[in-house]
Amino acid sequence: MRKGTPSTRKRVKGEARLDPAETTTMAYVDYLRASLEQLEQAVLDASSAGSWQAMSTLKMRALETRRVLDEEIAKAASPDDSMSDEQLLAIIVQAVASMPAQHLERIEDAVELRRGGKIVRLAGGGA
């Protein structure tokens, strides 16, 4: 499409569109997700139009965006020195919520011991 010409492509209902006004307030991970959705839709559009060079380029951009998104998600879920106590606590709570019952019991016993309650013997060993 030439510069200055209107797009002939119709907007599909429910299609992800990034509003430039909203991008300044979006979290980076949310921005990457929306960008990835747009790129994936553009790949489908280019394929439908038979534009193989555009499709190839868009696929490469989508793969790079996916890689950056995965890195950002992993970074958000792993603690580091720059995180606040609230951020660290959120990671811990999320990890505890996803544990199986036997691990939760061990954590509950450890908390009870820390609070000065009954003395319990924590079982050691396997995963």
pLDDT score at 76: 74
pLDDT score at 4: 43
- State which residues form the domain around 48: 9-78
**Mean pLDDT split into 10-residue runs, the chain, 127 residues:** 43 54 72 94 96 95 95 79 81 86 88 76 58
Using a cut of 0.75, tell me whether the model's pTM lies above it. no
Per the structure, the count of domains in the chain is 2
Q: Is residue 4 part of a domain?
A: no
Q: Is residue 15 part of a domain?
A: yes
Same-domain status, 85 and 74: no
Q: Is residue 1 part of a domain?
A: no
3-state secondary structure the chain: CCCCCCCCCCCCCCCCCCCCCCCCCCCHHHHHHHHHHHHHHHHHHHHHHCCHHHHHHHHHHHHHHHHHHHHHHHHHHCCCCCCCHHHHHHHHHHHHHCCCHHHHHHHHHHHHHHCCCCCCCCCCCCC
